[in-house]
Chains A and B, each alone.
Chain A
Amino acid sequence: MSVLVFVEGLNGEIKKSSLEAASYGSQVAQQLGTTATAVAIGEVHEEALAKLGEQGITKVLYDADDRLKQFVADAYVKVIAKAAQQESAKVLVFSNSNIGAAVGSKLAVRLNGSLATNVTTLPNTDGGSFIVTRGVFSGKAFADVNLTSDVKIIAVKKNSFEVSENGGATATVEKLSADLADADFAAAPKETVMQDTDGGILLPEAEIVVSGGRGLKGPENWHLVEDLAKALGAATACSKPVSDLDWRPHHEHVGQTGITVSPNLYIAIGISGAIQHLAGVNSSKVIVVINKDPEAPFFKAADYGIVGDAFDVVPKLIEAARALDK
């Protein structure tokens, strides 16, 4: 019996959210007195796989089938199910990403397991229970869930766990083949289009997010958001009205019907803080609000606030951020 962690790659490296999942998985393994194995699929450098030892992973199973470079749910499920069987895994850990949660849901059916997504704590295993806490009501509450099946599947909320660094430790890397058939790729994507992040940081993975609203008056002023983001090593985001007006692309829209982020620092510029927006950002650890309206509701949810015109305030922030020694 072991704990199995699914890790996702991006450009040959392992995604930060998967490093968090690996750290989580090895802590669960320690709790249960067993070891943690990772299963990797697609395009990841072998060095990056071995380095998972730093997160406490002892063994990595790797399926290098070329067809797995793109996400194909059925094929991924088959590979992970094979790894789970081989390792007699009773706990499977994923990142709560679009891929991780999708594959986790399908495996819950296939392996007859209990699933919790959006998980924010290690399990409480007192008295034979297996209780984890998960975010519910769009960040307004947490629920404790007892996973009652023999197999437990957990999708870990992004940026909820520190990446553990056990310097120098390496994991052994073994090949895994799930003997995939063409039928497993029937729903393969025709085309995958990655956003041009211009060397920037992907919003769902970001530790710092700088977000702009209608207070910026137009897309031509977005350099204020971008320059501050660049100086802080942050990703950029926007409010719903801004994406509805096509000032910014939809994938930058955070809020109730956009994406949910939980960075360490969220800086909102010219966003009033409608409840729908808060639903997407309220689990951020520190919130900064910059708005010229002192009555903006967002100030109630903020840790730091500045009442002032973005066009005066943001350049001062950019200057101060650039002056920080890294």
Chain B
Amino acid sequence: MKILVCISNVPDTTSKINFTGDNKEFDKNGVQFVINPWDEYALTRAIELKEAKGGSVTVLNVGEADAEPNIRKALAIGADDAIRVNAHPKDAFFVAQQIAAVAKENNYDMILMGKESIDYNGFQVHNMVGEMLGIPSVTPAFKLDMVDDSTARLEREIEGGKEVVEVKLPFVASAQQPMSEPRIPNMRGIMTARTKPLAVREPVGAEAKAEYVGFSKPEKKGGVKMIDAENAGELIKLLRNEAKVL
């Protein structure tokens, strides 16, 4: 089974978010980048399936050279090879076009990724890729198993419940907890990752359709108002009369 896992390189959850250049660009200064946590669920599940059924796992990143340490980390966790499309990921449509272009040249049985990235929170790319390739996209899935060699069974979350879906290969799915338990690379993985192939290719000509023109930060909260535990009931009154949320 040939699996493609798409990963994005995102600021660590604990990062302070700041912008530069008149609030037009994200300030990378002092920010630690990680593999998008949602993508890690997809990556580990792909590796588990490969261990059980054989095949290969290729990781794909649409990003600039500074993403390579995290691409190597994905190889250290257990992917076999990697592709980096050398481009700034302008918007979801642009990224989906790059993924679709790579997928069209290789017959992947499944294309997995996280349900969204923790930086742009789009929840778009997986469905766009499915539509571009004309194959089903099952999102967001929290369970993925093979029924037989050509059929997968997924469980996806819907508001207020879940759906069980069976699809023929090939398909696209996005992952969320608890699809798998993300792994930490071991020393042997880190050593072998250094020599695993990482191909760099140029993007296909695709325009962005959503142009990011500026950023802002939420207004700071006014500070916390403490209520004495003895008079806890007072809180309910404040929520009704002062905050007006009850």
Contact = CB atoms under 8 A, between A and B. Distances in A.
A305 B227 contact: yes
Contacts of B217: 140-142
Contacts of B228: 306
A286 B238 CA distance: 11
Nearest to A96: B123
A115 B124 contact: yes
A32 interface: no
A180 interface: no
A131 B212 CA distance: 9
Interface stretch (B1-9, B48-56, B163-171): B163-171
Contacts of A98: 139-140, 156-159
B106 to A, nearest CB: 20
A137 B13 CA distance: 9
B162 interface: yes
B117 to A, nearest CB: 10
Interface size class of A (residues with CB under 8 A): 35 or more
A110 B213 CA distance: 25
A68 interface: no
Interface residues of B, number: 77
Contacts of A143: 120, 212, 214-215
Contacts of A250: 142, 177-178
Contact of B213 (A145, A204, A256): A145
Contact of B124 (A77, A108, A289, A308): A108
Nearest to B127: A105
Nearest to A138: B118
Given A253-B177, A288-B239, A316-B233, A189 B164 contact: yes
A104 to B, nearest CB: 8
Contacts of B213: 131, 144-146
Interface in A276-305: 276, 279, 282-283, 285-286, 288-289, 299-305
B215 A313 contact: no
B136 A144 contact: no
A317 B209 contact: no
Contacts of A313: 229, 232
Interface stretch (B59-67, B72-80, B218-226): B218-226
B160 interface: yes
A90 interface: no
Nearest to A276: B13
Interface in B109-143: 118-128, 130-132, 136-140, 142
A321 B236 contact: yes
Interface of A: 10, 15, 70-71, 73-74, 77, 96-99, 101-102, 104-106, 108-110, 113-118, 131, 133-149, 186-195, 197, 202, 204-205, 208, 232, 250-251, 253, 256-258, 264-265, 275-276, 279, 282-283, 285-286, 288-289, 299-309, 312-313, 316-317, 319-321, 324
Interface of B: 11, 13-14, 17, 19, 37-38, 41, 92-93, 96, 118-128, 130-132, 136-140, 142, 156-167, 176-178, 208-218, 221-222, 224-229, 232-240, 243, 245-246
